[in-house]
Amino acid sequence: MTRKTQASKFDVSNVIARRTKELLGKSSSIQRCAKCLIPETEQTATFNDAGICNMCERAEERDEQVNWESREQELQTILDQYRGKSRFDAIVPFSGGKDSAWTAYVLTKRYNLKVLLVTFDSHFRRPKHLQNIERIVRHLGCEHITFRASDHVIRKTMVESLKRRGDFCWFCHTGVVASPFKAALMHKVPLLIWGEPGVDYSGGYYSYKTKTPSDERWFNRQINLGINAEDMHGFIDDVEMRDLEPFQLPSWQEMKDMGVTSIHLGDYIKWDAPKQYEILNKELGWEMAEVENLHPRYHYEKVECFLQGTRDFLRYIKRGYSRTVQRANLDVRTGELTREEAAEMIHYDAQRPASLDVLLKYMDMDEEEFMDIAESHQIYPHRHDPDSVRPAQKKIDDHDLWEERLAGEENPADKS
């Protein structure tokens, strides 16, 4: 029998120090969309000869070129093909946020589908969000399963993916997508229906014409940050490959053999988040919550995770804009905001979120190291200006709960 010896781990700390040093310097001018303001540091942004970005082009496609009536007929055909054939008619990946809540609501109430809601526990789910989930699941009368990964493993992957990609959410990106496919195999349900159309937020990968395929390629291209579970196993210590299974897609051949169809509802029904929020609020009691670094008009966005503000702050450091500006850009495209009004909202993105304190304790990292890592992932030509950042925000209402939880548990890093 051959004994396998593990390759020595590659420590990224030196790379971070070198990169940060190289990146220090004044910011150059940044190209922004002539219509919506999105900067060139957006991951998939490209600009046409008139200086208009690809997301604005997608919005025009959505409003002027897509025949939404025939799209809905296409949806009906797909649903009829699968209705009544399995234990459930469809799997709905369900965070409980406004988009997946809307998807569950539309499929059960409008199309009378028997769906299984599948949640991946993001580990920092806020109390108000859990109340929203409870309301929706009860009201719609759906069956619901939740996948949850090990705290020890999550902690390790958070530090590692922060260092390597400037994004601590690798476990959540991958777990959220892998779990519904696993549930589909477990229950032999070949139809998966995701929510909002991806093209509104990242116009470079897909379009309304192509739709957003939600398959193995999508997972590797857009979801897993270029790190699969096997890579992660090679990066971190004291975690077995089987512990990383929650973040791994099931065998795609098995999915194909089952005849999987995996679609986004937003490719078939035109998405209108503010209107959808109002209906969810009125019909199901779904409630918004204060979200760090987000303008109050968008407090129905991203209410799920306590660390959302810190995640968005990281994007501000890396790319010079974050969720408030991104969300405001959508409203500029629809004419609800002017370009100038959207530009003024940048100060919401430029705040040090109080939740950063919780994340630092959780990862056993000091703020200087965190900032070094974040700045090492800046996207050219953006250069982060620390003076642009406002002091720590006031705590959101569940902040002390997370501090108490951390104080009450033994830090695995202290174990000998």
Residues at the interface with Zn ion (CB under 5 A)? 33, 35-36, 38, 53, 56
Residue whose CB is less far from Zn ion, 50 or 407: 50
Smallest CA-to-CA distance from 115 within 141, 89, 84, 81 is with 89
Residue whose CB is less far from Zn ion, 33 or 255: 33
- Find all residues with CB under 8 Å of 297, minimum gap 6, and list them: none
Let me know: does 257 contact 167? Beta carbons within 8 Å: no
Amino acid, res. 144? H
The number of angstroms, rounded, from the C-alpha of 293 to the middle of its chain's C-alpha atoms is 16
Nearest approach, Cβ of residue 290 and Zn ion (Å): 28
- How far is it, in rounded angstroms, from Cα 337 to Cα 333? 8
Residue whose CB is less far from Zn ion, 59 or 263: 59
Residue whose CB is less far from Zn ion, 35 or 126: 35
Residue whose CB is less far from Zn ion, 37 or 263: 37
- How far is it, in rounded angstroms, from Cα 341 to Cα 297? 13
Smallest CA-to-CA distance from 280 within 92, 100, 88, 66 is with 100
- Could you give the angle at which helices 273-284 and 127-140 cross, rounded to 10 degrees? 70
Residue whose CB is less far from Zn ion, 53 or 159: 53
Nearest approach, Cβ of residue 64 and Zn ion (Å): 15
Nearest approach, Cβ of residue 370 and Zn ion (Å): 31
Residue whose CB is less far from Zn ion, 200 or 267: 200
Smallest CA-to-CA distance from 125 within 310, 304, 360 is with 304
- How far is it, in rounded angstroms, from Cα 141 to Cα 164? 42
Nearest approach, Cβ of residue 56 and Zn ion (Å): 3
Nearest approach, Cβ of residue 109 and Zn ion (Å): 34
Sort 164 into a burial class: Cβ within 10 Å, 0-12 / 13-18 / 19+: buried
Let me know: does 187 contact 116? Beta carbons within 8 Å: yes
Nearest approach, Cβ of residue 268 and Zn ion (Å): 24
Let me know: does 301 contact 324? Beta carbons within 8 Å: no
Q: What share of the chain is helix, strand, coil (3-state, %, to 5)?
A: 50, 5, 40
Q: Which helix (H) or strand (E) holds 229?
A: helix 229-235
Nearest approach, Cβ of residue 409 and Zn ion (Å): 45
Nearest approach, Cβ of residue 338 and Zn ion (Å): 14
3-state secondary structure of 312: helix
- How far is it, in rounded angstroms, from Cα 111 to Cα 327? 29
Smallest CA-to-CA distance from 241 within 180, 153, 171 is with 153
Residue whose CB is less far from Zn ion, 13 or 334: 334
Residue whose CB is less far from Zn ion, 97 or 203: 203
Nearest approach, Cβ of residue 325 and Zn ion (Å): 12
3-state secondary structure of 98: helix
